[in-house]
Amino acid sequence: STLDLHPSGTGKRPSAQTPARPPAPSSPTFRMAKRGVAGGEPIPLSRFGALVAQLESVVASARQKPPDALLCFDLLSELSSALDEAPKDTIQLWQRKCEDALQSLLVFGACRPVRRLASSAMGRIIQKGDAISVYSRASTLQGWLVDVKRADPMACAGAAQCLGEIYHLFGRKITAGLIETSNIVGKLMKYHEDFVRQDALLLLENALEGSGGGGSGAAYLEAFRIIMRGGISDKSYIVRVAAARCLKAFANIGGPGLGMAELDTSMSCCVKVSFTHFIYSTCLLKNQWLKLF
């Protein structure tokens, strides 16, 4: 579905008696019209483009007042639906603006359902649009998480969840950033809020599985150290479950960078905490490691 935007901005062709009023230079209509074909006909504003413009407006208003969660949820649901229908050319036209708006929404702080939808939309727009932007977007999110001091916990959780989604879809392309991502997870594990520590370990899980074992050995050893040092003994059950999922991710990719000593250590720690999820994941990891020999 498209909006037929003629220069009058009314949706109808201007009559001979009514002179056309040109759109403001800052309006989406003006920017789209400038890209018209040689004959001067304006390019219709797609449904996807209109939703991105709405999202930009919500983000701009968020600087004065936190955006309404229900409004954001509905808007992101429509955006997700529009992504299914929009052709690649249309997505690429609005991709950068959409990515920037989604990241801004996340770092302003959003509730978990909104964070999930925004992160999913970020991954899908890169997947359906120009995939080359995965490098700059992953770097931008990493840079924000590295530079930020004591930020809003929901903002950190949102950025971590979004970066995890990118690793889940494109991990093999960005294995060079795995060591920095492991360091970011270690930083987020110091937060008092258990949902931040949970999302940090879910980011690590996605980074491990997404990389497919193609990262450096040092990155995997650092990731393993973070899991064993804090994840398995965390006071929060949801964080311990997330740590167990990380061990299972290690098993799924064959336990790169780990030797028998690390595996024995993990089994010993898991028995001490008597946590079935850890014992199961560590057994999987040990079996995968033994298959290499």
Q: Taking residues 26-33, report their average pLDDT.
A: 43
List C-alpha distances in Å: 289 to 172, 208, 250.
21, 15, 10
| Chain segment 227-262, per-residue pLDDT in tens | 888 888 788 889 988 988 888 888 888 777 666 776
Q: What average pLDDT does the structure give for the chain?
A: 79
Question: What ranges do the domains of the chain cover?
Answer: 1-43
- What single letter denotes the amino acid at residue 86? A
Tokens of 175: 């294995």
| Chain segment 54-107, per-residue pLDDT in tens | 999 999 988 888 888 999 999 999 999 999 888 999 899 999 999 999 999 999
Please give the pLDDT value at position 21: 40
| Chain segment 196-221, per-residue pLDDT in tens | 999 999 999 999 999 988 888 888 88
Which of 125, 114, 122 has the alpha carbon at shortest distance from 141? 122
Please give the pLDDT value at position 149: 76
| 192 pLDDT more than 70 | yes
